[in-house]
Chain A
């Protein structure tokens, strides 16, 4: 398996523009997570899905952020409009819970977002 795939790897945009980040989880994984990482706030969980259904979006900072998972192999995180304080590395991760046992959560390479 290629692992968790994210695109783009780098994104530079201007304040006010819409930004869409993309993620393909590992095949067969039933959980998908979106994280944001900054020096100031560390690694923050934004939202996660189970079987394509959003379970907990309490980490989404504002209404400007939205996430979707239309099928088991694709998810998007959208920021509209973007602001300079959204600059961060955004990671997607996935894992499988088999029965009552949680398995390794794998991270994608991340998208480094810079909002000017």
Chain B
């Protein structure tokens, strides 16, 4: 069935360094790939998304890349700040189902 694998499960970086989180998906029909950030005690919130007709998308310090052939996509955070510390979830969807398949989550810790 549909599956999304996310790595690493935990990531610790120094403030100012870059962080990269990677996900692979199994359903080749997937065409929408959002990333969510969940701070402690809060709801998951969308930070960036990409559709299958695009290879890369940037929004200030965050970027997402997509490799459809390899069926993997990645989140890149540059110049990390302590407020970037949170759990990050990747997800994949085929638009005709409306549902998201989530990865297992990555706990990012940015040390000041």
Q: Which A residues have a C-beta under 8 Å from some C-beta of B?
A: 30-31, 33, 42-43, 45, 48, 50, 55-56, 91, 95, 97, 100-102, 104-110
Contact yes or no, A102 B93, CB < 8 A? yes
Contact yes or no, A43 B89, CB < 8 A? yes
A110 to B98 CA separation, bound complex (whole angstroms): 20
Contact yes or no, A107 B44, CB < 8 A? yes
Interface hit among B16-24, B76-84, B100-108 = B100-108
22 contacts between A and B (CB under 8 A): A42-B104, A43-B89, A45-B100, A48-B98, A48-B99, A50-B98, A55-B99, A56-B99, A91-B43, A91-B44, A95-B98, A97-B96, A97-B98, A100-B96, A101-B95, A105-B34, A105-B100, A106-B46, A107-B43, A107-B44, A108-B43, A110-B43
How many interface residues does chain B have, given as a range? 10 to 19
Contact yes or no, B93 A104, CB < 8 A? no
The majority secondary structure among interface residues of chain A is: strand
Contact yes or no, A43 B98, CB < 8 A? no
Which partner residue on chain A sits nearest B100 by CB separation?
A: A105
A108 to B51 CA separation, bound complex (whole angstroms): 24
Contact yes or no, A45 B44, CB < 8 A? no
Contact yes or no, A42 B99, CB < 8 A? no
Contact yes or no, A102 B43, CB < 8 A? no
Q: For residue A31, which residues in chain B have a CB less than 8 angstroms away from its CB?
A: 98-99
Contact yes or no, A43 B102, CB < 8 A? yes
Decide: A100 near B95, CB < 8 A? Known: A43-B89, A105-B46, A107-B45: yes
A97 to B96 CA separation, bound complex (whole angstroms): 8
Contact yes or no, A33 B43, CB < 8 A? no
Q: For residue B34, which residues in chain A have a CB less than 8 angstroms away from its CB?
A: 104-105
Given contacts A43-B102, A97-B96, could you give 20 more A-B pairs where the C-beta distance is less than 8 Å?
A42-B105, A43-B89, A45-B99, A45-B102, A50-B98, A91-B43, A97-B98, A100-B95, A100-B96, A102-B95, A104-B34, A104-B46, A105-B34, A105-B100, A106-B46, A107-B44, A107-B45, A108-B43, A109-B42, A110-B43
Segment 47-97 of B: residues with Cβ below 8 Å from A: 49, 51, 89, 93, 95-96
